[in-house]
Every structure is written in structure tokens, then in C-alpha cells.
Amino acid sequence: MSDEESRTEEPRPTGVSRKTLLRAAMIAPAVPLLAGVPALARTPSGQPLAATPESCDDDDLTPPQIEGPYFKPGSPLRTSIADGPGTALTLTGYVVGLACQPIAGALLDFWQADNGGNYDNVGNRFRGHQLTDTQGKFTLTSIVPGLYPGRTRHIHVKVQAPGRPILTTQLYFPNEPRNSTDTLYDPALLMNVQIVGSGRQATFDFVLNIQGTPPSPSPTPTKTTSPTPPTGGTWAPYVAYALGAQVTYGGLSYACQIAHTSLPGWEPPNTPALWRRV
């Protein structure tokens, strides 16, 4: 392992942010109310946090970044992309809107370099997509990506709430020497990273530009009794579409880019990460 790869990573020193409060509120065990006042979430050291805010303002929006040359559609549906040797990495977090509301069923498509700084442009090593659970939470198992010329250590991701635009961005590691020389590096996209045993545990929450509560898929959907596809096309919700499957919707034809089970709000015009016009 090189000197750069063996550097100790420490949690990013920040104050208590809205996203920190959100995570604390979501993972804190239920506690009784005292005199009608909600009990406060607590930090790992046991100190109480301020009450969870009613709003995540525009300053908390996750900034976009370029896609880069190594994205390819059709990644497998999976939460682990640890397809080779390296330092184990577990990334957890939430996808939320401007009201700090969790977004269920949000699509996250991750891709990264292997331990040697190489991307698999033929197969799907170190590539995969997943959906957030009903609490807006996701978990990714991977390795710490390797370095390659011109870039600091990073992970690529596309995030899309049902029926909403795609956010394409990158996540970065703290205390990396190349952070200061990588022209794409943005400290707003730093993960919080801790050393746990021989691996790393990281957290990051995505805040999307969505007001209120966006449409979320039901965990137990009720299928429509009407045999007529919406808008006269062949696309329909609650159907398992394979990579390359073709449908019509609104008089246009689409090809599936990522195998998935369709949901209301995921119509082809609304989900360009899933469907490509043909």
C-alpha cells in the first residue's frame, strides 16, 4: 500500500448540521416524551443535539458534478460492489428533500475505480444500483477506490427520486493529499469517514431539490384492474423489466437501461436513468 493509501482518515470536523440531526432523529431509539416536549437526539458522546429542524434550506442541497468518462448504463441491482481486493468500505446515508423528508424508492447508481485505480468498462465490477428503503436509507458495501493520474480518491453516483431529475455527483474522502490539487474536488461532497478495525465506515446524506413529500412507492402495491396500459403504451407499473427491454409510452419508444421493477411515477419520460429513447 502506498503512503497516500495508508494515511489515517478521520471524521470531517464539522458542527452539528441539519443532516446530522436528521440522521440522529432517524436512528435514535424511541424514548418517552417529558412534559409534552420531544426528547432530544444525542451525539455519540452523549451530548444532546438541538431539536431536528423543520426544513433543510437550499444551502444543504447536494451539489452536482460531472459524470466523467467511465459511466455505463445497465449496472446490476445490488448493495455490494466489492468486486476485488482492497480496504473494506461501508457507506450509509439517507436521501431527503428540502423539508428533510426521507425519500423512499430513490435510485442510487454507484460506480468507482478498483484498488489499482482502474474502471471496468466491459463488465460491471465496482458498479451497482439500489433503491432507498421506506426511511430513505441506503447502504453500500465496497472498497476504498484506488488513485489514478489527475484525480483524488472518489466515488461516482447518480441519485434520482421517483419522477424527478437525476442528480449526478461524486463523493470524496477526507485527509487525502490530492484533494488540494484535484480541480473537481468539492469539500461539500466530503463523506464522514472513520477507521473501524481494518476497514472504513463512511456516511453521507443526499439532499435533493424537492419541496414537500415526493411520490413514494408503496411496499405492498395494489395492481390496477384495468388491462389498458397508461397513455396507450405498453409500459405499466409493477412490471420487472430486463436490461434492453423495449416499451412504448405516450407514443414514443424506450429501451430499458437498468433492470428494475417499475413503479408509479417511474414512467419512461420521468426516469432517463432507467429508460432511453429509441
Provide the pLDDT for residue 57: 66
Verify that 156 and 62 share a domain, yes or no. yes
Give a yes or no: residue 164 inside a domain.
Answer: yes
What residue has cell string 460491471?
Answer: 124
Distances (CA, A) of 156 to 72, 129, 230: 12, 11, 34
CA dist 34 and 26 (Å) reads 19
Verify that 135 and 237 share a domain, yes or no. no
Give a yes or no: residue 11 inside a domain.
Answer: no
Instruction: Please say whether the beta carbons of 205 and 225 come within 8 A.
Output: no
Digit-coded pLDDT (tens) for 213-272: 544 454 444 444 444 445 568 988 878 888 899 999 988 999 988 877 777 778 888 888
Verify that 161 and 267 share a domain, yes or no. no
Please give the tally of structural domains in the chain: 2
| The model's pTM | 0.65
Tell me the average pLDDT across 124-140: 96
Verify that 120 and 238 share a domain, yes or no. no
Give a yes or no: residue 67 inside a domain.
Answer: yes
Lowest mean pLDDT among 50-64, 72-86, 101-115, 160-174: 50-64
| Domain boundary, last residue among 173, 207, 241 | 207
> For residue 49, what is the domain's CATH number?
2.60.130.10
Verify that 165 and 264 share a domain, yes or no. no
Give a yes or no: residue 22 inside a domain.
Answer: no
Digit-coded pLDDT (tens) for 85-108: 999 999 999 999 998 999 999 999
Give a yes or no: residue 19 inside a domain.
Answer: no
Verify that 69 and 157 share a domain, yes or no. yes
Provide the pLDDT for residue 123: 95
Give a yes or no: residue 15 inside a domain.
Answer: no
Verify that 177 and 252 share a domain, yes or no. no
Instruction: Please say whether the beta carbons of 98 and 58 come within 8 A.
Output: yes
Verify that 95 and 157 share a domain, yes or no. yes
Lowest mean pLDDT among 50-64, 116-130, 134-148, 261-275: 50-64
Give a yes or no: residue 8 inside a domain.
Answer: no
CA dist 113 and 178 (Å) reads 16
Verify that 53 and 183 share a domain, yes or no. yes
Give a yes or no: residue 134 inside a domain.
Answer: yes
Residue 10 has pLDDT above 80, yes or no: no
Residue positions counted in the chain: 278
> For residue 254, what is the domain's CATH number?
2.10.10.20
Residue 11 or 240, more confident: 240
Verify that 135 and 88 share a domain, yes or no. yes
Verify that 253 and 199 share a domain, yes or no. no
| Domain boundary, last residue among 190, 207, 224 | 207
- Residue 71 structural domain: 42-207
Verify that 173 and 118 share a domain, yes or no. yes
**DSSP string for residues in the chain:** --TTTTSPP--------HHHHHHHHHHSPP---BTTBPPPPB-TTSPBPPPPPS---GGGSPPP----TT--S---B-SB---SSS-EEEEEEEEE-TT--B-TT-EEEEE---TTS---SSS-TTEEEEE--TTSEEEEEEEPPPP-TT--SEEEEEEE-TTSPEEEEEEE-TT-GGGGT-TT--GGGBPEEEEETTEEEEE--EE-S--S------SSPPPPS--SPGGGSS--TT-EEPTT-EEEETTEEEEESS-EE--TT--GGG-TTTEEE-
